[in-house]
Amino acid sequence: MKALVQRVLQAEVRVDDAVVGAIGPGILLFLGVEKGDGAEQIPRLVERVLGLRIFPGPEKPLDRALEATEGGLLVVSQFTLAADTRRGRRPSFSSAAPPEVAQPLYETFLGTCRARHPHIASGRFGADMKVALVNDGPLTFWLEG
């Protein structure tokens, strides 16, 4: 699993001009599921995301985790994170997990997040989503689980 984490002041996801998920200050997370990924990876990745110290504290600019700030977490499925762009000009998605594998893992990831943190929002798996955000910093991190 791959996660692209961005610290945001706000973010929202729209499907068919309707907001399906929105947060204020917190993390926008794009989640990509690859072939071979499994549910056993989810607890560690959730721990890393919720515990990532990317928010300012009283003494350091990167000292607090999302859990300590009570910020929001907006999770958006993003199969293109599995793209292979090493050759040519057209990305290959052969390493992306098929939807029937990726969707249950995405839903399990969301459920695990919701069990640990009160402010979780999400996009809609497989939908044509429009994501708007105000990046804070900008701070962007790549996590693999």
Rounded to 5°, angle at Cα 13 from 128 and 95? 50
Q: Confirm whether 79 is a catalytic residue.
A: yes
103 is an active site residue: no
Q: What percent of the chain has pLDDT over 70?
A: 100
State pLDDT tens for residues 38-79.
Answer: 999 999 999 999 999 999 999 999 999 999 998 999 999 999
Q: What is the model's pTM?
A: 0.95
Q: Is the pLDDT of residue 132 over 80?
A: yes
Q: Which of 6, 79, 109, 112 is catalytic?
A: 79
Domain of residue 95: give its range. Answer: 2-144
The token pair that represents 62 in the structure block? 């990167």
54-63: buried (b, 16+ CB within 10 Å) or exposed (e) per residue?
bbeeeeeeee
Please count the structural domains in the chain. Answer: 1
- Tell me which of 80, 85, 93, 140 is the catalytic residue: 80
Q: How far apart are CA 63 and CA 88, in angstroms?
A: 41
Active-site residue, 69 included: no
What CATH number is attached to the domain comprising 61? 3.50.80.10
Which residue in the list 30, 78, 109, 112 is annotated as catalytic?
A: 78
Q: Is the pLDDT of residue 92 over 90?
A: yes
pLDDT at residue 145, as a whole number? 76
